[in-house]
Structure 1
């Protein structure tokens, strides 16, 4: 059974809330932040809001500020809170290369960027006792999911011809296929040589693969058994994915550990169940594997990640109630009829997760509701522990208080009836 360890050497389950801040969500791309406006009226100053928010979270038996939170909240209240920031190391590199969906880990500039980012964000936190650990990134695109059907291999093959990632992808295929004709028997490109492949405008995937997880995995195996060419394509994609994942985690974790040898590296917050090769690479380098799971029950994903032998942290989950007037038309996670059901979902989800020996934490998304008009990406949902007016959802937070208080006993299996 896994536990985190606090600065005094005690067992610790990270019970967190994401995005605890005075200015969490602007309306669209405007400067208006309804929650901040309400909090100015209610608390007067940002400092007084921090004190109130910290004490309220501690009163609900939370002990961690999750991603995107104002770190000053951690020490503002009567009881200190842990912090768990994300540094967006890979994502920030991708943003400098607009042709990349996933950061080109083969680009020499990537390693330099990661080292620079780790030094900038992690070195100044290396002696902070309230730091639980560092997330590398959030929801990078590893394989087909809700955002698209592309494989990482095809994404790299479609980088501009001079990009190191495209060169590396073609080199991997050349190592595997002795002749170009053998490769093209599977991939069916219009190219007639490796040289043409390196410069052609777009390489189309010859087959479509479903997102990993659940029934999809069994259907993928069946489809590959029925078609040797499809099986070869799948093997090409999975082999390249393993190389990319190993390089990503090796470079990022080593850079963070060099900048901050005192704290954990707690994952890259997988947004969708990762392929087994990605999980294996993550387990080789990370201290904790983190993933976001917007399901009614996280058990299946917990078991998938726990098979790596590493502790697991659920870095985002939530349930949205349809009874408070918010649209709930954009955003992840189940919608339920009422705040009563929302509280019940939290209890069922967290209790089931804590009964797994690998789970060392759970972080709720998020502290305050989103604006009804929608934030920058259109999300407009009832995710909050508090309303836009900063009023707590009583049923939800009372349930959170009770379940959080029992978390360590649930995890240890020492409750009556366990």
Structure 2
């Protein structure tokens, strides 16, 4: 049943600073039978304007929902109220909607007192129209206007910019001119991209060493190696197709010639790939080999010495460039403790880890493999200083980790339930009563909170150790590069980190903070690798800058040089990997991101100003890392990020 939420006005206008507006008459709203909060919205800017909905309780806590919608297009957005439990960080796409990010405090429908609508800071003033906002007991129909937004080459049809491909003849001539080049690393670099002017003991595989002044990677021949990498080195750039087919100007039949540009994922979602279509136009059936040839040359010409995460295995096999490997299918359990955090003490988790590790067998003897990542940005860690043990005790399900906790409480309190009761300020008959779900047990007493915090650390250590033991059993040669945490959201992340060989985290900033990097290295006892960073600009054909924004490609070059050269000067950093080779699809990838973050556009044209900065930075990394030269000092002018 549809229940309209009244609006005082339909147009919402915000300055560059963003802001929020509270909806009125919330006491008239009945949430009992509602399953969706629905908003019909049209943003007025050509750039992405995030719609931010905050749902508050009486204590002032709130759940925050960032929603991206295709710019200047009327879009129906449906927020499932089941997501109020904050268990899901990212929500699935629906037609017209881009990325959805959920953060903040879990809130039940009965607790809701206020709702606000707003947006975040942006490069310019922002506005959007909300035609209607309402509650419903059913998921809405995602109706869209009839319009063409994407041209035949996968570019934004509604805008123009310098470097946009206008004709097929132009596309073909350019791509065909990119073959037959044979670039190589500089003469002072080893075949792996290491630095011949500094040598350690070679072992035939990559390893780490501290020379008394700083950390280094060491290549298989023993040369000092600083990893200048790039993620997602692959020809594919998949954009969502389901429900938005009419937005594309050109969609060929799924014939043999263009069948590879269509893709269906394991969830049944359909995608279209104009990056592949453009390669097929230029190179025909040999497009894969031609792309490998072109991209191998570019990697060496631009002085990237590492193929980063999520890259093409076909490319890795042919390029003879060092690479890192993302392991697939991190072990989970049928019943989880919080989000993707498994029942870490269960046999199910241990068995999953053993199977997970087996994928390393085929890479065991490859000297070009630097190491492997266990997973990427675990979602449980997005929740900050989450008390996993408390989440465990609130579960209705019986998990093995709960039995382990009970045994530890028995041991600590010498099997004396009265001593436990006094310490926790509870009244249990026996320790096994802890199997019964407890609401917010950390609030029972100070000691209860401490006991739960201690067990949270044990859970994270076990979570880490089980997997690290399994992979090391299979592969003793390559580096365990860790979990690729999104950021240091809690000190508990360091539990078990000494079982890695390198501590990797993603770092979206204008420059890594040396104090923070030193702190991570000190607490983990390891060298640090940055797995992701990027900069996007607003002078070409995508509506989002990504997580760090500047105005032009020339400013991107400054930003890259400043970031990587200052990173190389930090004694605890051993590499940075840029995200990504390609721009994202203009109507969004699987989760809705459509960032202008690539080194090349959808037609495989490099952004030349940006590439110039990349190349200069890479040619200086060893002289900067060794202290022979100072890092680049000119900072790019940052603008508020457009996108999330």
Same fold at TM > 0.5 = yes
Residue 67 of structure 1 corresponds to 309
509, 514, 517: which one pairs with 1:295?
A: 509
Measure the CA separation in 2 of the matches of 1:388 and 1:49: 13
Residue 50 of structure 1 is aligned with which of 266, 269, 292? 292
CA distance in 1, matches of 2:486, 2:449: 21
Distance 1:149 1:40, change over 3 A: farther
Q: Which runs of 5+ in 1 are unaligned?
A: 208-227
Q: Is the 8 A contact 1:319 1:345 kept in 2?
A: yes
Structure with greater Cα Rg: 2
1:5-404 correspondence to structure 2 within 5 Å: 5-27=218-240, 29-44=269-284, 45-77=287-319, 80-90=320-330, 92-93=331-332, 96-97=334-335, 100-101=338-339, 102-119=341-358, 121-143=359-381, 145=382, 150-172=386-408, 178-184=419-425, 194-200=431-437, 203-204=439-440, 232=447, 235-283=450-498, 285-299=499-513, 300-307=515-522, 308-328=524-544, 333-404=547-618
Match of 2:601, SS?
coil
Which TM-score applies when normalising by structure 1?
0.83
Normalising by the residue count of structure 2, what TM-score does the alignment of the two structures yield? 0.55
Q: Report if the CA contact (8 A) 1:125-1:131 is conserved.
A: yes
C-alpha contact 1:16 1:62 (8 A) present in aligned 2: yes
Q: Give 1:403 deviation, angstroms.
A: 0.6
CA shift digits 1:275-314 (9 cap, x unpaired): 334325202x111110001122222431221113311100
Higher strand share: 2
Shift of 1:34: 2.4
* Preserved contact between residue 227 and residue 575 of structure 2 (Cα < 8 Å): yes
What is the number of residues matched between the two proteins?
382
2:390/2:440 contact within 8 Å kept: yes
Deviation at residue 205 of structure 1 after TM alignment: 6.5
- Report how far residue 192 of structure 1 moved: 8.2
Distance 1:338 1:417 in 2: 22
Alignment root-mean-square deviation, CA: 2.8
Q: How far did residue 246 of structure 1 move?
A: 2.0
SS in 1 for 2:332: helix
Q: Does the residue aligned with 2:459 lie in a helix, a strand or coil? A: helix
Q: Name the structure, 1 or 2, with higher relative contact order (CA <8 Å, separation 6+).
A: 1
Distance in 2, matches of 1:237 and 1:39, equals 55
C-alpha distance in structure 2 between counterparts of 1:407 and 1:339, whole Å: 21
Out of 246-255 and 26-35, give the one that drifted further. Answer: 26-35
Q: CA deviation at 1:7?
A: 1.6
- SS of corresponding position for 1:15: strand
Change (3 A) 1:58 1:237: farther
Cα distance change, pair 327–417 in 1 and its aligned pair in 2 (3 A):
closer
Distance 1:339 1:173 in 2: 59
Q: Secondary structure at the match of 2:465?
A: helix
> Helix, strand or coil: the match of 2:303?
coil
- CA spacing shift, 1:159–1:167, aligned 2, 3 Å: farther
Q: What is the CA distance between 1:133 and its match in structure 2?
A: 0.4
SS class of match (2:544): coil
**CA deviation after TM superposition for structure 1 residue 88, in Å:** 4.0
